[in-house]
Amino acid sequence: MNSLSIEFAGQTVWLWLGFLSLIGCLLWIDLGIVNRRDQVISPKKSALMWASFATLAVLFGLYVGLLYEPDPQYYEIPADLNRQAVIQYFTGYLLETALAFDNIFVISLIFTHFCIPREYQHRVLFWGIIGAIVFRGIFISLGAAVVNSWTWVLYVFGVFLIYTGWKMITGRDAEFTLEDNRILAFARRHLRVTDQLYGHHFFLRLPHPATGHATLYATPLFLALAMVETADIVFAVDSVPAIFAVTRDPFIVYTSNVFAILGLRSMYFMLAAAAAHFKYLKYGLSLVLVLIGAKIIWNFGLSKELGWVPYLAPQWALLVTLLVIGGAIAYSVLRTRSSRMTHRG
């Protein structure tokens, strides 16, 4: 048997390798060709980069709808698997994109804390994407193994999402801070770190002050990268359960996650300046988390186990996500605009 035809998480190894090769090619084009030199990414270029990744995400969605072969074990309804898969893919992509929006605020905070010049920020985000792809793969693999072995874990995810959404609504959600950060303190304690940047280098060799021998030092750029990766892991605690609430198909979970991460990191330079205009988005996200958590209990508990209510098809999750997030963004823009006009008046 060809080793590439062996299945992993419901799909052949060649399909997984093909997707990872596509992402690797995109990243090579990004840093190796388009952004080979250190430069400030303008909002216009940032928007074009996001549009390119968003177009690829849509094209991949067409592949899911037309050519993808879903594994029936991950779907509750045995008919129209491709239709279910494509709806779940776009729901997951939209949800992960919205949930990752909070990351923009945190990344901006990290760059400000370490005084990272704008011309080096894209390099940090690029390597941050690679780390996010690896860590999300680990989390999703573990999540898929748990969810598909013990379906009752979905109830735990549902309650967790409702609790997380409620904390966001009431303003009690824990914020990511750099003050007394344990990982940052660990890095400073166990690594030799320079006080200043040395171009776009994460590490370099400098003469040791005592011996004069060339010694490896980390730069503040590496510390910024470590904090960006840490922030992504923190946000994954919310986003991974949320996406498993939408679909149990590991391939759909992972691909929608990766395209969302690529898009948000590309759009960072456009959104960082406008982030303050979307202050009501978090309330929309919190409501989406609550509704998705409630959907798990509705579908798997009240519908599947007890038969008290009808099963909610995947398209309802997509429609509600679009309406709530779109409404939160529109309301934020209108309130910000009216506030500006009031101040001018």
User: What's the confidence (pLDDT) of residue 69?
Assistant: 92
Backbone angles phi, psi at 207, to 5 degrees: -65, 135
Residue 222 has pLDDT above 90, yes or no: yes
pLDDT of residue 83: 92
Of the candidates 283, 181, 271, the residue with the CA atom closest to the CA atom of residue 231:
181
Question: What is the C-alpha end-to-end distance of the chain, expressed in Å?
Answer: 74
The pLDDT > 70 percentage for the chain reads: 91
Write the CA distances from 122 to 35, 126, 276, 319, integer angstroms. Answer: 8, 6, 21, 34
CA gap 249, 85 in Å, rounded: 8
pLDDT, one tens digit per residue, over 61-71 is 999 999 999 99
- Least reliable range by pLDDT among 52-56, 220-224, 262-266: 262-266
Q: Write out pLDDT tens, residues 131-184.
A: 888 888 888 888 888 887 777 788 888 888 888 888 877 765 555 666 667 888
pLDDT greater than 80 at residue 345: no
Residues 292-328 pLDDT 10s: 888 888 887 888 777 788 877 777 777 888 888 888 8
Which pairing describes strands 214-218 and 203-207: parallel, antiparallel, or unpaired? antiparallel
pLDDT of 192 higher than 70: yes
Mean pLDDT of 205-234: 86
Please check the confidence at residue 210 and state whether its pLDDT lies above 70. yes
CA 53 – CA 51 distance, rounded (Å): 6
Rounded-to-integer distance, Cα 158 and Cα 94, Å: 19
Average pLDDT, rounded, for the chain: 83
